[in-house]
């Protein structure tokens, strides 16, 4: 099975300007496809920006809204899967918003839809309702791909649930802020190592309202190394998700085989 070349878009886009951010995503997809990538991942709330205050409600869209159709067109135009974050309006529950992410396949069909389950800070709790589905998965390029958002990956149980469900590549659009650089630098690679999977972690960058996003996007491998790592500024980095390396690593690393779930009842 060939490796899946994966591109991470590190950008905060244009605050509050969905059309501009769709254009940035389209340009990044063109560059990623030219580099041979089969997957592009953009950050958390990329389509709108993060620190947009009351505009969150104004700019939120249904999961199948016009922006989703535009991203689907980007995926088809450049022949690769595209993952991105956006504020979702629940059409069945008026006024309910989710911090959401979707993965569009290269054919323009939705492969994954996810609502952030662990909200971070007063701002997110003010605007969003937490999602209830911890593990979502789809097949892409012969790999089982999972999806979560930012703070979710900082909970060991969350990532372990993905590993036990068979996830090979975990996509994490994120909005990591200063002074939490340790998450990108250490926590994410450790999560990949202890769960024997790849983690694609795509961050925002630079100042935005009261926040300072730190960049440091990474593609972490099951040996705990970073196969691609961005700096602090706007960037597009590319790395390989290698199924053969993953299989060999899982054979060598016994963490999941040596678990004793009967001892962990206190966790639930």
Q: Catalytic amino acids?
A: 44, 116, 150
194: left (phi over 0), alpha (psi -120 to 50) or beta: alpha
Long-range contacts of 252-260 (CB under 8 A, 24+ apart): 253/193, 253/196, 253/222, 255/194, 255/195, 255/196, 256/163, 256/164, 256/195, 256/196
Helices (H), the chain: 18-34, 55-59, 66-78, 121-127, 156-164, 181-182, 188-195, 243-252
Burial category of 194 from C-beta neighbours within 10 Å (exposed 0-12, middle 13-18, buried 19 and up): middle
* Residue in the structure block whose two tokens are 């689907």: 72
Nearest residue to 11 (alpha-carbon basis) of 260, 250, 205: 205
User: How is residue 80 written in tokens?
Assistant: 């690769």
């Amino acid at each position: 099975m060939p490796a899946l070349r994966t591109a991470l878009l590190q950008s905060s886009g244009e605050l509050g300007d969905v059309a501009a951010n769709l254009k940035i995503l389209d340009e990044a997809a063109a560059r990623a496809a030219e580099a041979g990538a089969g997957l592009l991942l953009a950050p958390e709330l990329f389509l709108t920006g993060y620190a947009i205050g009351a505009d969150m409600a104004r700019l939120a869209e249904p999961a199948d809204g016009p922006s989703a159709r535009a991203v689907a067109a980007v995926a088809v135009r450049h022949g690769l899967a595209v993952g991105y974050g956006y504020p979702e309006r629940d059409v069945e529950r008026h006024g309910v918003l989710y911090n959401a992410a979707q993965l569009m396949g290269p054919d323009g069909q939705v492969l994954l839809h996810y609502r952030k389950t662990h909200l971070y800070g007063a701002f997110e709790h003010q605007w969003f309702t937490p999602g209830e589905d911890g593990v979502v998965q789809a097949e892409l390029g012969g790999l089982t791909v999972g999806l979560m958002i930012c703070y979710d990956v900082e909970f060991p149980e969350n990532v372990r649930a993905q590993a036990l469900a068979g996830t090979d590549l975990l996509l994490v659009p994120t909005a990591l802020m200063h002074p939490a650089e340790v998450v990108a630098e250490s926590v994410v690679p450790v999560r990949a190592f202890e769960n024997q999977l790849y983690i694609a972690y795509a961050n925002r960058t630079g100042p935005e309202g009261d926040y300072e996003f730190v960049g440091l996007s990474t593609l972490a491998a099951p040996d705990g190394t970073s196969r691609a790592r961005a700096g602090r500024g706007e960037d597009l980095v590319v790395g390989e998700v290698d199924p053969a390396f993953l299989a060999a690593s899982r054979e060598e690393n016994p963490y999941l085989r040596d678990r004793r779930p009967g001892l962990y009842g206190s966790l639930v």
